[in-house]
């Protein structure tokens, strides 16, 4: 009997392996081709490249030289791109493009591998199993998933980190606690999970849950301290640096976008905006059917295990569960022992994905179509990245007349397994059919227009507005309205300095001149005040100051109050008069552009003397960065993070208790 069973089990394993490899290669190839066809670098993706330019030029991790402002949300993405740019010496846009593309493409088969390992143990034992891609197909079919596989943003890094944590976490659950080098493997998992806040701040939830499971599992207190130390070393070190260098607790975009408050209505509109164009609800329902069947099949397997092992056996599919757990005396110890199981990993991961999705819905989503929900969707799809479609070995038993009660039980199980295989096969075919239809319908002219919700398909928007199918370089963005005129204006005012302000005319910029004698500690330079930081920042020289109305790179705007009904992601708009006052430009007519209010400029000049505001400005513009400044910023970082001011200079004067300036008399 053993001679017959050995080769059969080996053959089944090979069939499962081959089916997985074919699916993984196919999905990865299609994803890579689709992402390459839709390659681009977003305006927001160009923002990080300006910081890298400053790093390479020796100006530090800043957006504008001489201003310690962290304009990038993902710290890890900034330094990953800086490293590859430094090593290769390549053009920054293409370094970002290829790095994002490779990370995105690697993340999908890596996640599939982790999920395949989840089902691998039982694949060769219950029949002929095909490991077919399902969640992976759903993810790569979505046009925004292919769009943000490049884009210059950190989406690729995020899903690669998620896939790595998924594989390592599952491997930990399935290993024997006494395995060789187990402590090193656990510490490596802790280190990777601890990177979460550096990848994306909200991913801290998933990283923290993984670390919590590790710490609560039955290990020594020495190992617990080791996990905390290894996981926290890099994030804590960087957080201390951030507080002492930037004088805030979070990246400046987090202050600018102000995560406080909730916009549930806008969040549900964002979900509809993502689901509607691709009928995404259809594969989601199919995926839920698969999850339901897998849970039911697991329950049947557990029941069968009880029947085989006896009434006192533990009904658990995990082959590596602690055999002594049944003898543990206390409930807490039994709970601890039960943590190291595959089902715990799945439950924790799915819970994290669901909470992250709810977080973004509460926040109102984003102005970019589907972007912030891609990572939560990827996390939620992890347990079904591949699915086991198992045909029972003895299919003919399903139709034979049972000879005994035991035969009847076997026949019932065989029929159930066969029905499950048919169900999963139909679901897989339906999902593939949906993917083909969605791909064909969105290949040309895909996406949606800007609507009243303020959400936009960014890739399509820029490609259409510039007439460039694949905008990648900063030079491509010269085709965007106002950019050529901006470059001409920068060259015109390069020596004397000015504040450039966008006009309604795409071929010209308004400007505010600087006086012959500048205020103390105010450099003479060209300042560009415009919403799109990426294209302006990459096109302009590093000695040109680039600032924006919503405050991604401009703390004065970032610390203003959030507009309740503003466009999502753009709900802080600083009046131009603040920039005129802060830059030291002429604030009176006839030199001041007539569309600006000289009274408001004068009020802004007074409002900027508010002691707290002056301290905040000094914290990021005080040169040089000394030990004294580091200690001062470290102490002030908590207060500066929560500091808010009125965007209306008159109200800000009243808030600070400053004297209102006299009205300017017309001449």
If you average pLDDT over residues 177-204, what whole number do you get? 93
Please give the mean pLDDT across all residues of the chain: 88
Q: Residue 446 has what pLDDT? A: 40
Does the pLDDT value for residue 208 go beyond 60? yes
Separation of alpha carbons 206 and 197, rounded Å:
10
Q: How far apart are CA 544 and CA 553, in angstroms?
A: 13
Q: What gap in Å lies between CA 456 and CA 533, rounded to an integer?
A: 17
Boundaries of every domain in the chain? 8-309+341-439, 461-656
**4 pLDDT above the threshold of 50:** no
Element (H, E) at 613: helix 611-621
Tell me the pLDDT band of 571, cut-offs 50, 70 and 90: confident
Query: Strands 509-513, 498-502: parallel, antiparallel or unpaired by DSSP?
Result: antiparallel
pLDDT over 90 for what percent of the chain?
70
How far is residue 152 from each of residues 36, 49, 622, measured CA to CA in Å? Answer: 13, 9, 31
Residues in the chain: 667
Strand 526-529 vs strand 498-502: parallel, antiparallel, or unpaired? parallel
Selection from 390, 434, 455 nearest residue 139 by Cα: 434
Considering 178-187, 355-364, 399-408, the range whose residues carry the highest mean pLDDT is 355-364
User: Does residue 447 surpass a pLDDT of 90?
Assistant: no
Tell me what the mean pLDDT of segment 72-98 comes to.
96
CB atoms within 10 A of CB 376: 23
Measure the CA–CA gap between 214 and 210, rounded to whole angstroms: 6
């Amino acid at each position: 009997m053993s001679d017959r069973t050995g080769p059969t089990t080996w053959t089944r394993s090979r069939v499962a392996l081959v089916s997985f490899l074919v699916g993984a290669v196919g999905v990865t190839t299609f994803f890579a081709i689709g992402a390459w066809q839709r390659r681009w670098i977003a305006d927001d993706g160009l923002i990080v490249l300006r910081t890298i330019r400053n790093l390479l030029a020796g100006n530090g991790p800043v957006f504008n030289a001489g201003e310690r402002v962290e304009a990038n949300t993902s710290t890890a993405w900034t330094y990953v791109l800086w490293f590859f740019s430094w090593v290769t010496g390549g053009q920054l846009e293409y370094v970002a493009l290829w790095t994002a593309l490779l990370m995105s493409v690697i993340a999908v088969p890596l996640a599939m591998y982790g999920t395949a390992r989840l089902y691998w143990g039982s694949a060769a034992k219950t029949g002929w199993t095909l490991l077919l891609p399902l969640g992976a197909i759903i993810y790569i079919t979505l046009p925004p998933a292919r769009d943000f596989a490049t884009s210059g943003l950190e989406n690729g890094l995020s899903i690669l980190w998620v896939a790595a944590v998924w594989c390592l976490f599952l491997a930990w659950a399935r290993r024997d606690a006494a395995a060789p080098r187990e402590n090193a493997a656990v510490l490596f998992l802790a280190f990777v999970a601890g990177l979460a806040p550096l990848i994306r701040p909200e991913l801290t939830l998933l990283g923290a849950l993984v670390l919590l499971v590790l710490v609560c599992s039955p290990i020594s207190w020495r190992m617990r301290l080791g996990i905390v130390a290894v996981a926290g070393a890099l994030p804590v070190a960087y957080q201390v640096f951030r507080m002492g260098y930037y004088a805030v607790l979070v990246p400046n975009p987090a202050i600018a976008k102000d995560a406080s408050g909730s916009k549930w209505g806008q969040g549900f509109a964002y979900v509809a905006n993502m689901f509607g164009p691709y009928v995404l609800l259809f594969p989601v329902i199919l995926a839920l059917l698969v999850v339901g069947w897998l849970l039911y099949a697991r329950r049947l397997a557990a029941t069968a295990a009880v029947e085989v092992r006896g009434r006192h056996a533990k009904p658990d599919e995990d082959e590596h569960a602690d055999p002594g757990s049944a003898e543990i005396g206390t409930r807490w110890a039994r709970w601890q022992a039960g943590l190291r199981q595959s089902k715990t990993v799945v439950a924790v991961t799915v819970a994290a994905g669901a909470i992250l999705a709810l977080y973004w819905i509460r926040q109102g989503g984003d102005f970019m179509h589907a972007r912030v929900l891609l990572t939560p969707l990827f996390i939620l799809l992890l347990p079904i990245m591949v699915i086991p479609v198992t045909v029972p070995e003895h299919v003919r038993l399903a139709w034979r007349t049972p000879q005994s009660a035991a035969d009847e039980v076997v026949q019932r199980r065989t029929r159930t397994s066969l029905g499950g295989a048919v169900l999963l096969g139909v679901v897989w075919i339906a999902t593939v059919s949906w993917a083909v239809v969605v791909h064909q319908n969105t290949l040309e002219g895909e996406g949606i227009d800007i609507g009243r919700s303020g959400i936009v398909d960014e890739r399509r928007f820029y490609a259409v507005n510039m007439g460039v199918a694949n905008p990648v370089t900063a030079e491509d963005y010269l085709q965007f309205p106002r950019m050529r005129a901006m470059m001409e204006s920068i060259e015109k005012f390069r020596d004397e300095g000015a504040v450039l302000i966008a006009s309604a005319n795409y071929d010209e910029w308004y400007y505010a001149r600087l006086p012959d004698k500048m205020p103390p500690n105010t450099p003479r330079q060209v300042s560009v005040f415009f919403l799109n930081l990426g294209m302006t920042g990459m096109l302009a020289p590093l000695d040109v100051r680039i600032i924006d109305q919503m405050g991604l790179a401009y703390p004065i705007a970032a610390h203003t109050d959030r507009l309740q009904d503003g466009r999502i992601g753009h709900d802080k708009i600083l009046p131009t008069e603040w920039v005129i006052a802060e830059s030291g430009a002429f604030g009176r007519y006839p030199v001041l552009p007539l569309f600006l209010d000289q009274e408001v400029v004068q009020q802004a000049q007074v409002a900027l003397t508010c002691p707290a505001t002056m301290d905040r400005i000094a914290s990021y513009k005080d040169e040089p960065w000394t030990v004294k400044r580091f200690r001062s910023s470290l102490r002030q970082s908590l207060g500066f993070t929560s500091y808010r001011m009125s965007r209306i200079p008159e109200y800000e004067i009243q808030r600070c208790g400053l004297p209102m300036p006299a009205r300017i008399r017309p001449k």
